[in-house]
A and B are shown apart, each in its own frame.
Chain A
Amino acid sequence: MNKPQIKKGTIKRLLSYITKKYKKQFIAVFICIILSSIANVFGSLFLQTLIDDYITPLLGIENPVYTELLKAIGFMAMIYVVGIISTYLYNRIMAVISQGVLKDIRDEMFNKMEKLPIRYFDTHAHGDIMSHYTNDTDTLRQMLSQSLPHIIMSIMTIVVIFFGMLYMSPILTGFVIIFTILTVIITKTISSKSSKYFIGQQVSLGKVNGYIEEMLNGQKVIKVFTHEEKSIEEFKKLNNQLNKDMYSANKFINILMPIANNLGNLQYVLIAIIGTILTINGTIDLTIGVIISFLQLTRSFTQPINQVMNQLNSVIMALAGAGRIFEMLDEEPEKDEGYVTLVNVKKENDKLIETEERTGIWAWKHPHHDGSIEYVELKGHIELTNVDFGYEENKMVLHDISLYAKPGQKIAFVGATGAGKTTITNLINRFYDIEDGKIRYDGININKIKKADLRKSLGVVLQDTNLFTGTIKENIKYGKEEATDEEVIEAAKLANAHDFILRLPQGYDTMLSGNGSELSQGQRQLISIARVAINNPPVMILDEATSSIDTRTEKIVQDGMDKLMDGRTVFVIAHRLSTVRNSKAIMVLDHGRIIERGNHEELIAQKGQYYQLYTGAFELE
């Protein structure tokens, strides 16, 4: 965790979440807190009245009458009842407000996250993104449901008592203020020291937890290399440092309370002495009863101040967390200026007519500037012209890429890691936007196409198969929500996943947890292929989609896909050249440029890089 830094406006913005939806409730909370603290202060003052007005007059009287006392107590009881009810109400309302605000923030955060461009995820550590939902929200919850009402309550009490004291004796109040400032300075020095160590503790804790995570993830490698002792040694080092930092941080926090408490005690004594001296000297005109009441008030005065000091730390942490959350909420979302949409059409006399029906024929609906609407049938013709691209400015990864894929053609990208194969596919579905050049889809510039529609028309299978928690069936249906069970099975058969799915104890209803660790990498790839196959998109991008599947199974899957892809466009990235050999065209990429292109035979004949790669495998024959 970084050093807590609070940006200006964080508090205001946080409050706006409360006032936006819960204005009335929040006002009610405020009123209740005021009532509750008034009732509380009344309690401290009541005692003196009790003694002075109701007990002392009765002393020495035979057969004393208690009706007045009973009345006074009854009156006090009523005030207390109001106080208790107010306390209950503000706690209860605040519970609803704080949970509601948290839910709003959480939902907004997730909603926003889904809208962020891929770049955000590529440039931010996943752990950091996650911590917005865990740590940052957690500190916020603490603050909203605990610290905030506490602080309001304390401040209210301080104000009420302060005026009470001022009313009784301005001079003594002056002494209390001097003493309070002293207390605040002392506690502040200590807590600022502790917060320094706290940061240290967070850093070491992060290191230890990071180490634990890394080592446990590599635990099997540790076993294989009998590295247990070594890893324990390293762990001990980090753990001891954490112990040191944790000790220092907690030490200061722990001594804060006794210091604050006893400073309060000290103040009590001093005020008693000063008050008595001044009264006896006649410097101020106070009755003993007032001094006693005043003393009672000073005790109730220091307590809420300590409370505020105590809560301040957690407020700072929470505001820092809120700042980080807002930072994410302020991220620029993925822009979409596309206006060309994908619609269902039917053909009548060679003309495309838009329809609500699921005809299975799709078309791009292209509204022109002059108001006319053009329908272009979705075919899957992709063309890249002179495309340049860099993830960072001035650092181009792709240079002058031009290529086209006609409907039904299979185009392969071959080349070393980092040559730019995946980058090209990232551009086609607009995960990233090109720097220069043009990409056309069925003749339409993809910048004009609405992103959602563009992506719906592209089926993507990635090397990292991310499956979701849920049944296998649900995972396959991810590609097409309204799919029937038959369609699911059909798609699974096509991906050659049907057989192994049936062998699982619960078949298609087998629950996959986490990242589908119940299945082998190859099986997961088969499911992710089925997930795309069910949607039957006109263009498919297979990025190392079969890398973990054995070649025999891959062959079967490919046969199935070839059947499916009849008339569809496919982009393939693969390490295994056997996977790409039957492509219409193979692009050999090197450092972001296409250095060779042609079909397998042509490239072999060319005896260039492809030839070398290819023959590498068969040198031994």
Chain B
Amino acid sequence: MIKKLTKSIREYKKDAILTPIFVAVEVILEVIIPLLMANLIDDGVYNGDMNMVYKIGVELIICAILSLIFGMLSGISAAKASAGFSKNLREDLYKKVQEFSFYNIDKFSTSSLVTRLTTDISNVQMAFQMIIRIAVRSPLMLFSSLFFAISISPKLSLIFLILIPIIGLGLYLIVTHTHPIMEKIFKTYDKLNNVVEENVSAIRVVKSFVLEDEENKKFNKVSNTIYQDFSKAEKLLALNSPLMQFAIYLCILLISWFGAKLIVNTNMVEFTTGELMTMLTYSIQILSSLMMLSMILVIVTISKASAERIVEVLEEIPDIKNPKNPVKTVANGSIEFKNVGFSYIKDKKRESLKKINLKIKSGETIGIIGGTGSGKSSLVNLIPRLYDATEGAVLVGEINVKRYDLNSLRNEVACVLQKNVLFSGTISDNIRWGKEDATEEEIKRVCKIAQADEFICNFPDGYNTYIEEGGTNVSGGQKQRLCIARALLKHPKILILDDSTSAVDTKTDNLIRKSFASDIPETTKIIIAQRISSVQDCDKIVVMNNGTIDAIGTHEELLKNNTIYKEVYESQTKGSDTDE
């Protein structure tokens, strides 16, 4: 897992390596400084020796300046390395997601991918910065302090050797006990956010049903769980500081007692008062590095889950990839389904499409009609290879879609999705998605075909009108027409409209189809619709039912022979005038 992540360090390797080195120098200086301070007192102040005070004072100032310089250097390189690492990691992740097929996206779900690219990366970055600075600092501090302590007095250092494992164990126990509670808290937090989010977006429903009190109860329950768990965790964590204090105080007392005896017994030969003070400084340094280590343990364990989630994405294999020696040109807009079966979860028992056989000639206009969940969208999604058929083969231009270069195929098969999205940017920017270098004339032309030109020109800013994220500032019908224009700009050989005119009024809908017929006659057009009027003039109409093709025919044929089609038609034309 670590290997996978460290790959993203790349050009920041230098800084990532320099940081611990700088930190090491800083630490050594920090260990020397208390030694000098003791000397300053022992040899200078105590004896009232001014020269000694100056001499050691200058040494101390030099050490402080050096420590300052290295401290700053390590801080700067740590900032550089960690910001750089997170940048690269974010980029790697983003690129990876761009390779994902629809299947991969569905598997993770969009919101979970967003969390992985945002929160999780921040967590990992924090841990990374911690590790390159403090994970070096603490053990180094621990060992060098211990080393100097032993060199001053091996006997007294035995105190540390006994205390360190005990404190270490204590801290370890606290951390390992709080961690599972913290994990639980994070999950509960998700729940809490979920309740809030649902209430924010569904406030109209809540208010309509007058269920504010119920929602309050729901929220309070989750909120209370967090309160209890968090209190539990924090109560455990509250043991941290007293434990440390206990250790430090115990050290002070033990060193004082044994140190004093040692001084008196050996008459300042083996151990001096100045050394006693230095020992105490080291004891604080040793114990606080232990504390730091336990903190790192916490942060690393917290970020471990994040790191795992990130690696999961990095390791996901995109299930649709370019074939070897791909075909780069699509000969024509003919389509053929040969015995096609398809399941979203790759489970043959739960197929959304079963044994589909269908031939569409280049340039034909095909209508698809069928109830909710009958498999219309699944069927057309297979054409630009958004999903792979689980069984059978889909052919475009007489060649299996799996043999095409993905970009070439998708550039020729334009698909206006049912759940369509506009991006923040101007209308022109949005339409240019179809073709980056399109001229203004080209854009205007496709907008005219999609019957969007008129309303765009009615906006004060025309084609430069800014579309808000998600296209919230245009109506549903306008959004759909913009999406159609965007697809048309690709000059595709096949155009698929997946229920893309449902919010467009019937008259405009009709105009769109008319301009399709006159302006892009060569393009194969597949129109999924709910309205009979949207498909009735198609060359062929496919009636879907429960993942199979129920019938294929023209409007007249189907009206005569197909019950489903007839029912749909009647539901839309006759209405219930007679009910009154």
Contacts and interface: CB of A to CB of B under 8 A. Distances in A.
A99 B234 CA distance: 9
Interface string B46-89: 10101001100100110111011011101110111011101100
A103 B267 CA distance: 61
A574 to B, nearest CB: 11
A59 B470 CA distance: 83
Nearest to A549: B372
A319 B493 CA distance: 59
A550 B372 contact: yes
Nearest to A525: B372
Contacts of A416: 475, 505
A548 interface: yes
Nearest to B435: A225
A431 B54 contact: no
Interface residues of A, number: 165
Task: Report, as a range, how many residues of chain B touch the other chain.
Answer: 35 or more
B94 A88 contact: no
Contacts of B168: none
Contacts of A275: 45
Contact of B204 (A103, A232, A431, A612): A431
Interface in B184-211: 192-211
Interface string B285-309: 0000000000000000000000000
B94 A224 contact: no
Contacts, number: 441
Contact of A551 (B33, B407, B531, B536): B531
Interface stretch (B141-149, B236-244, B389-397): B236-244
B515 interface: no
Contacts of B5: none
B224 A103 contact: yes
Contact of A98 (B53, B199, B234, B268): B234
Interface stretch (A164-172, A173-181, A263-271, A362-370): A263-271
| Secondary structure of the B contact surface, majority rule | helix
B71 A500 contact: no
B204 A266 contact: no
A581 B577 contact: yes
A4 B24 CA distance: 36
Contacts of B410: 223-226
B84 to A, nearest CB: 6
A560 interface: no
A96 to B, nearest CB: 6
B413 to A, nearest CB: 9
A460 B208 contact: yes
A555 interface: yes
A314 interface: no
Interface in A210-233: 210, 212-228, 230-232
Main secondary structure of the interface of A (DSSP, over half): helix
Contact of A47 (B207, B235, B280): B280
A232 B95 contact: yes
Contacts of B82: 250
A121 B61 contact: no
A274 B293 CA distance: 38
A517 B109 CA distance: 10
Given A64-B264, A84-B246, A295-B41, A216 B372 contact: no
Contacts of A616: 505-508, 510
A120 B112 CA distance: 28
B446 interface: no
A47 B255 CA distance: 11
B572 interface: yes
Interface stretch (A12-20, A127-135, A487-495): A127-135
Interface stretch (A239-247, A352-360, A376-384, A587-595): A239-247
Interface string A436-475: 0000000000000001100110111010101011000000
Nearest to A251: B79
Nearest to A81: B249
A258 B75 contact: yes
Contacts of B466: none
A608 interface: no
B6 interface: no
Contacts of B209: 455-456, 478-479, 535
A73 B256 contact: yes
7 contacts: A47-B256, A218-B423, A250-B83, A280-B50, A462-B205, A600-B575, A617-B510
Given A220-B419, A255-B76, 5 more contacts: A43-B252, A219-B113, A246-B87, A551-B531, A553-B371
- 5 closest cross-chain pairs (CB), A and B: A258-B71, A616-B507, A254-B75, A466-B202, A95-B234
